[in-house]
Structure 1
Amino acid sequence: MILFAVVVVSIVTLVHFTASKIVAEQSRAQQQSISPAISLIVDQLLKPLHVSQTLAEAKELKDLMKNPEVDEKTVFEMLRRLELEFDMEFFIASDLTRMQYNSNGTKLALVEGKVDWYFRYKEWQQDAIADIGQWEDPNFYIDLKVYDDKKFVGFFGISKSLDSFVDIFAQYKALHGYDFIFVDQDDNIALSSDPELIVNKTVFTTLQSLEWYEGLSSERIAKGSLNNALVSINGKDALIAEVKVDPFGWTMYLLTPLQARQTEISRSFIVSVVTLLVIIFALFFLIYHLLYHFKKDMQKNFQTDPLTRLPNRNKVELRYAEMLDKKQSVGLILIDIDHFKTVNDTHGHNAGDQVLRQIAKLLQNQLRDGDVVGRWGGEEFVLLLPDTTADQAFEVAQKLRENLAKMTASTGSISLQVTASFGVSHTDTERALTDLLGYADDALYQAKRDGRNMVKMQLAKAA
């Protein structure tokens, strides 16, 4: 919220200074064009960078990479989990094993002379490197060096298909008529809104080969900066805004089409936009360190029910996905506290909350390591039992039902006896959690209909 407030204040302030030079209609139209550019840079470059930088500092990752006997199963599970959580492809390139492990389950031997990028970037001074690779299907990569006590242990990073950038840039250009060009440290065009400039196989287009660049004066080229340069592209004037993307050593050129009478006005506006971009870059780098320290606590809170401190729906769904990835059979138990509304209506919601906490504690104490108990909502709980048969899941439910019926729940001033109805389902094949829950819910309904305080089971139909 603080970041949002600062960004809003920055935008309002810059628009205020710009408005004195730009007619109201022109100001509105141009700002509507530039705003998506800011979001585009943040979403497509800065966000993946910050995510990967934060994860690269994780102890779990460093422990895996500094171990000379890499547990490949654990590595792939971690990478797959990250891919599902952040919707990006991740990789680890280990210096000890000289292997690259990808979140899609593939691996590649890092052989000198065959895998050029690893040995070349290893010698570079930069810790964050962006490049284009995998020529059969070109991808944008962020390569981050990982250290353990200042000792280099390999690279960690992400990859994104160039097709995704082409589509996004094309949409932006179609709406606003502006062009993006991202140039790397060797003056190769890495990303562009013009698909013809994107790398083809192993051949890059260079900035110097562009027709409008060749038309620049030698004085302008000698300055080493194209910021505010006015160029002609296909017979139309365009103003260049230049922004350094320091984490990668890249430069972004924003080519703004102009009419001759609008050149001075647009020049002032582009300066304001570039200033805004610099401010946003600075803000994101400033809060990066704060985000790192709070990341674990925030993630834990997002996946925990605040009342019972049990995993919430999101966490249960993630754990179920992990069990399926491990090819484990899963028993599922859905629990509904009998007549819980009466407890709330008679003794108050505070008493009801205390009862739910005590039931949650009882369920936790009855389960094995690896089992998962979570709050599904209201007075409902869900249990995941990996590597369990249907009969074993039914027996667990019976035992829990008996122990719950024997428990006396205390609210401080009164003691209550509570019971619950149980619905059991089971799968030993890959099946959506919603399907498994549907069978358990049907069984739970039957238990309630037949008198409550009982266990019913309904097995999933064979696929």
Structure 2
Amino acid sequence: MNTFRTLHRSLLVLFAVVVIAIVTLIHFSVSKIVAEQSRAQQQSLSPAISLIVEQLLKPLHTSEALGRSTELVDLMSGDFIDEDAVFTSLERLENEFNLSFFIASETSRKLYNSDGSKLDLIEGEVSWYFKYRDYPEDAVADIGKWEDTHFYIDIKIRDDNGKFLGFFGVGKSLSSFLEVFDTYKREYGYDFLFVDGMGDIMLSSDPSLIASYSDFTNLSELPWYASLPLSVQSEQALNNRLVTIDQKDFLIAEVKLNQFDWTVFLLSPLQDRQTEISQGFIFSVVTLLVVIFSLFLLIYNLLYYFRKDMHPELIVRHTNRLPDKPEIESIYQSLLSEKKAVSLVMISIDDFSGISDTFGRNIADDALDKIVMYLADTVREQDILGRWSSDEFILLLPNTGPHEAFDIAQNLRHGIATLAPMPENTKLHITASFGISFTASTRGMNEVTAHAEDALYQAKRDGSNLVRMQLIE
């Protein structure tokens, strides 16, 4: 019985460990999924930010830095513009930075391009110059030159007194953007939309959305955008919004370009994101299953160990599996070899033969089983219960003095006498008599059991359902 109690507690501890492990691993799995989702989000944004910096911000910063140069201010100030000097400077800048540059002079009202071309800035024919000249911003992004559509960054140039001298800037052919966008789309699988504050699409990885002859596509013209709630459309609040385009799901990430008052929308295919996140989730689940399987293997092996290496003193709830005389004698010798004092209690069912004759052998055996079950559940962990004869049991109480043993026996006797009647025969009342002996030195078991049996017989003679004790002098 003691070992079974230990086993029971071990199983409870293992169950608690399994529950804690499952909760911990579920928490780990959720954290892993969130981390994987964040990593996928970061992974998708990093190339986009790199593209924005390389294709937009770098030309902007280049033009801003060059626009503050004394050389450029000198070229654009004064009452006369030296066109040869202007074209020479622009050609040199184009060769040095591999970008197309231009100067729009307020003095001459002409536009000079680094390819050697020039254009008269006539109000009503060249609208951008006069429109942006009155803008409060010093840097403007625009689309123009429709025969070969270009993206332009216009920087206002002023002299030391703040007088407006014109525009200096950089231009890039949209065909070069489309090539870069196509490369990114093939490598990372997502689309770009560069949208101004009015909702017009300035740049896109979709060639069909690129402006043509000042005819811009507005976000509101896109079917997937038109299907969004009006509150979302009015604020252009698309970050982390899930949309369906051509029966495919896309997750939108949003990057603000405050330099141009633009917003970049990154449309990432959800299937690719799901694949990346699913891989992290599958890894976590597999880890969880491996840990749970390992814990259950441990439980199985523990059960197998207890079954295989069960000591003779294990108490079970059936009389035919209690330790017999030879096993009890072996345990008794082991206790004495460990120099343990032992109280020995003999237990006999009162009038067992009468019970068997009156109620039948099966009822009598059931009564024995019931008493064994009670004793096994009641004795202490260190106590050893065994079968001595057909209707007698023996109980070894290690490190227990005779008077303590007497109290234990009294409790057991009272417990047996007050057991609930057996359901199949409520008239059967069971009692037991107890005989106690004790030894604190090396003595043969026969000597100790002889005194315990004498005490047991005395209990029977005195009327049964009693406890008697006979110590060795």
Residue 38 of structure 1 aligns with an amino acid whose one-letter code is I
Aligned to 1:238: 250
Partners of 2:254 and 2:38 in 1: how far apart?
21
SS in 1 for 2:146: coil
Residue matched to 2:326: none
Percent identity over the alignment is 58
Contact 1:243–1:251, Cα closer than 8 Å, also in 2? yes
> Relative to 1, partners in 2 of residues 1:193 and 1:49: Cα closer, same or farther, differing over 3 Å?
same
Instruction: Classify the secondary structure of the residue corresponding to 1:156.
Output: strand
SS in 2 for 1:136: helix
- Note closer, same or farther for the CA distance 1:145–1:100 as it changes in structure 2 (3 Å cut): same
Partner in structure 1 of residue 183 of structure 2:
171
Alignment equivalent of 1:62, drawn from 73, 77, 94: 73
The equivalent residue for 1:124 is 135
1:44 and 2:59 aligned: no
Structure 2 match to 1:431: none
Alignment map for 1:94-109 (pairs within 5 Å): 94-109=105-120
Structure 2 CA distance for partners of 1:222 and 1:187, relative to 1, 3 Å: closer
- Aligned residue in 1 for 2:92: 81
Partner secondary structure for residue 227 of structure 1: coil
83 and 45 in structure 1: CA distance in 2 versus 1, 3 angstrom threshold: same
Does 1:201 find its partner at 2:217?
Answer: no
Instruction: Give the match for residue 165 of structure 2.
Output: 153
Secondary structure at the aligned position of 1:68 is classed as: coil
Q: Which amino acid aligns with 1:65?
A: M
8 Å contact kept, 1:99–1:108? yes
> What amino acid sits opposite 1:169 in the alignment?
F
Residue 20 and residue 151 in structure 1: after superposition, are their counterparts in 2 closer, same or farther (change >3 A)? Answer: farther
Residue 64 of structure 2 corresponds to residue 53 of structure 1: yes
Output the CA distance in 1 between the equivalents of 2:31 and 2:138.
43
Instruction: Please say which of residues 219-228 and 189-198 is displaced more in the overlay.
Output: 219-228
* Preserved contact between residue 215 and residue 231 of structure 1 (Cα < 8 Å): no
Larger-gyration structure (1/2): 2
Partner of 1:252: 264
Distance change in 2, residues 1:261/1:137 (3 Å): closer
Q: Deviations over 1:45-102 (max 9, x none)?
A: 0100000000000011111111221111111111111111111010000111101111
Return the offset for 1:242: 1.8
After superposition, residues 172-187 of structure 1 pair within 5 angstroms as: 172-187=184-199
Partner SS, residue 255 of structure 1: strand
Deviation at 1:105, TM superposition (A): 1.0
Shift of 1:264: 13
Contact between 2:40 and 2:273, CA under 8 Å: does it hold in 1?
no
The change in CA–CA distance for 1:249 and 1:29 in structure 2 (over 3 A counts) is closer
* Separation in 1, partners of 2:235, 2:91: 47
Out of 121, 125, 141, the position equivalent to 2:152 is: 141
Give, in angstroms, the shift of residue 34 of structure 1.
3.6
Q: TM-score, normalised by structure 1?
A: 0.50
Higher relative contact order (CA 8 A, sep 6+): 2
Whole-Å Cα distance in 2 between the matches of residues 33 and 146 of structure 1? 37
Q: Does the 8 A contact of 2:103 with 2:168 survive in 1?
A: yes
Note the 1:302-381 alignment, pairs <5 A.
none
User: 2:210 corresponds to which letter in structure 1?
Assistant: I
Task: Give the aligned length.
Answer: 249
**How many angstroms apart in 2 are the aligned matches of 1:173 and 1:88?**
23
| CA distance in 1 between partners of 2:143 and 2:179 (Å) | 17
Alpha-carbon offset, residue 162 of structure 1: 0.2
| Superimposed CA distance per residue, residues 144-193 of structure 1 (whole angstroms, 9 cap, x where no aligned partner) | 11111211110000100000001111111122211100012332111111
In the alignment, is the contact (CA less than 8 A) between 1:237 and 1:260 conserved in 2? no
In structure 1, distance between residues paired with 2:46 and 2:171: 25
Secondary structure, counterpart of 1:85 in structure 2 = helix
Find the residue that maps to 1:168 and give its secondary structure.
Answer: helix
TM value normalised by structure 2: 0.49
What's the Cα RMSD here?
2.7
Aligned to 2:314: none
1:87-138 CA-to-partner distances (Å, cap 9, x unmatched) read 1010000111101111111111101011110001111111110010011110
Report the residue type matching 1:204 in the other structure. Answer: F
8 Å contact 1:140–1:159 — kept in the other structure? yes
3-state SS in 2 of match to 1:36: helix
1:113 maps to what in 2?
124
Which residue identity is paired with 1:73? D
1:244 deviation in Å?
A: 1.7
Where structure 2 has 5 or more consecutive residues not aligned to the other structure, the ranges are: 1-29, 279-473
Amino acid at match of 2:216: F
Query: Over residues 269-301 of structure 1, what are the superposed CA-to-partner deviations in whole Å (9 max), with x where a residue is unaligned?
Result: xxxxxxxxxxxxxxxxxxxxxxxxxxxxxxxxx
- Offset of 1:223 from its aligned partner? 3.8
Q: Relative to structure 2, which stretch is displaced further, 198-207 or 73-82?
A: 198-207
CA distance in 2, matches of 1:32, 1:265: 12
Change (3 A) 1:112 1:178: same
Secondary structure, aligned partner of 1:216: coil
Distance in 2 (CA, whole Å) between partners of 1:35 and 1:260 is 16
Secondary structure at 2:224's aligned position in 1? Answer: helix
CA drift at 1:27: 7.0
Spell out, residue by residue over 1:230-288, the C-alpha distance to the aligned partner (whole angstroms, 9 max, x if none).
2111122222222221111111111122149949979xxxxxxxxxxxxxxxxxxxxxx
